[in-house]
Amino acid sequence: MKTCLIIGGGLAGLSAGVHLSRSGIQTTILERSPRLGGRASSFIDPQFERELDNGQHIIMGCYSQTLEYINLIGSQKTFQFQDALSIPYAVRGGKRYSFESTGYAYPFNLSGALFNYQALSFREQLSAASFLLKAVLPFYKPDNDLLLSDWFTQLGQGKHARNALWDFLAVGAMNTKPENASALMFRELLRRIFLKGNFATTIIMPQNSLNESLIAPAMDFIRLNGGSIYTSCMVKELIHTGKGVIFPVLPCKEKVYDSVIIAVPFHSMYHIAGLDSIVKNFPDHVEHAAIVTTHMKVHGDAPLPRFMGLIESPIHWLFTRGDLITTVTSDANEIEKLTIDEIIRLTEKEIFEYTGGYKPQVLRTRVIKEKRATFIPSPAQLSVRPSCITELPHVFLAGDWTNTGLPATIEGAILSGYTAAQEILNTR
């Protein structure tokens, strides 16, 4: 039986492990931390008396590779699926708007969503519709080095329309401001969302924790198919023999594997000896953006929507699940510099102002700062993303930072693991 070692137990590594073990490859996953999932991990917080996610994530119907992964591991029932696109938004003062598709046939229902979105004036709605049409058509493809902010200007998107719609979508999807982001990358996202049918536009959310939906079922699947998983196990060196790769680390005995997938964050590659021929081709510097998540346990169930976008707020998304309120700030390099107490006060203030005066009795709080949550998808950085294929025979890369054609999302991570697995399966 062929064997594969996967270094890293985030979604990229788990995705690779699921596809390889399904195909009869004996798979071993080593994860440095005590839990799997990476930025999509969950943990038990005894003060909250529940499992909390390291960060809240939204899945969309256009995440085809993620949906295949969910189907393989059998966790469909742990998600809430929308019947049609519906995203509630709020502005300061508590007034709410909804971006939701109408009862018309596709794609006219999406036009209805745009023209019923009252956060935009009718003139802005017309301009936004024109932009969206041009964005998805093949002959309006932006140049590789064009910034998204410049593309918005070229296609007539004003400040208010950007704040109420486009910037919100861009920052949420790419975790950076349009002034830093690739226009070409954003165009690819719009095409995936709006050209694939009704289901592609819908929001899919875990009913409970990410661990319950994406991590634990994958671990069970890999083990049931003959794989092994070890946590708190750091690989310090890889020795390439030509025919295979030896890894000298416990708890596993020294062993030669037929192939290896390295599915760790970009900066962690430098801490594994034996990879000089790979990392020498990496860029000298990669810019990252932070994400800040705040969990609040409140008294009683919060009388708020399941999720809601906050327009022109430093807090971008608000999620509720019973007595748990979670807020998320993307592109959070400035917010991340605040103290924990300052972030909590800011969060409580924004909730109050964006819900029309709701002031919950907060029983517990937990703030999570991911300083290097994602790479910034600028034109310059996209041009140097590495392939999953390396100069070392039988050694492959996976991770949302590799050249998936997508930003650093759940879909990008899962796609990268699938791509690396397919390279191995295609060379059997």
Q: Who's near 190: CB < 8 A, 6+ residues apart?
A: 132, 135, 136
pLDDT for 236 equals 85
Confidence of residue 1 (pLDDT cuts 50, 70, 90): confident
Answer yes or no: is pLDDT of 232 > 60.
yes
- Per residue in 397-408, pLDDT (tens digit) is 999 999 999 999
Q: Decide: helix, strand or coil at residue 142.
A: coil
- Give the separation between CA 239 and CA 255, rounded to whole angstroms: 11
DSSP 49-95: TEEEESS---EETT-HHHHHHHHHHT-GGGEEE-SS-EEEEE-TTS-
**How much is the CA Rg of the chain, to the nearest whole Å?**
22
| Residue predicted with more confidence, 403 or 239 | 403
Confidence of residue 167 (pLDDT cuts 50, 70, 90): very high
In this structure, the chain runs to a length of 428
Q: Decide: helix, strand or coil at residue 297.
A: strand
pLDDT for 247 equals 67
Answer yes or no: is pLDDT of 428 > 70.
no
Answer yes or no: is pLDDT of 253 > 70.
no
In the chain, what percentage of residues exceed pLDDT 90?
82
Mean pLDDT of 170-186: 95
- Residue 129: CB atoms within 10 A of its CB come to 15
Mean pLDDT of 37-44: 95
Mean pLDDT of 206-222: 97
Say which range, 47-51, 251-255, 301-305, has the weakest mean pLDDT. 251-255
Domains of the chain: 3-40+210-285+378-426 (3.50.50.60), 102-197 (1.10.405), 288-375 (3.90.660.10)
What region does 322 belong to: left with phi over 0, alpha with psi -120 to 50, or beta? left
- Give the separation between CA 426 and CA 207, rounded to whole angstroms: 36
- Per residue in 83-123, pLDDT (tens digit) is 999 999 999 999 999 999 987 788 888 888 999 999 999 99
Contact 418, 65 (CB under 8 A): yes
272 φ/ψ angles, rounded to the nearest 5 degrees: -110, 115
Answer yes or no: is pLDDT of 361 > 90.
yes
Tell me whether residue 314 is exposed, middle or buried, using C-beta atoms within 10 angstroms of its C-beta: 0 to 12, 13 to 18, 19 or more.
Answer: middle
Mean pLDDT of 62-74: 98
- Per residue in 333-352, pLDDT (tens digit) is 999 999 999 999 999 999 99
- Per residue in 362-386, pLDDT (tens digit) is 999 999 999 999 999 999 999 999 9
Contact 177, 149 (CB under 8 A): yes
- Give the separation between CA 148 and CA 130, rounded to whole angstroms: 16
Q: Which two tokens stand for residue 175?
A: 């975790």
* Continuous H helices in 359-409: 379-382
Q: Who's near 382: CB < 8 A, 6+ residues apart?
A: 182, 184, 185
178 φ/ψ angles, rounded to the nearest 5 degrees: -60, -25
Answer yes or no: is pLDDT of 15 > 90.
yes
- Residue 48: CB atoms within 10 A of its CB come to 17
- Give the separation between CA 266 and CA 173, rounded to whole angstroms: 20
- Give the separation between CA 367 and CA 343, rounded to whole angstroms: 8
Among 181, 158, 156, 184, smallest CA distance to 171 is for 181
Across 142-162, b (16+ Cβ under 10 Å) vs e yields beeebbbbebbeebebeeebb
Q: What is the pTM of this model?
A: 0.96
Confidence of residue 248 (pLDDT cuts 50, 70, 90): low
First to last CA, the chain: 11
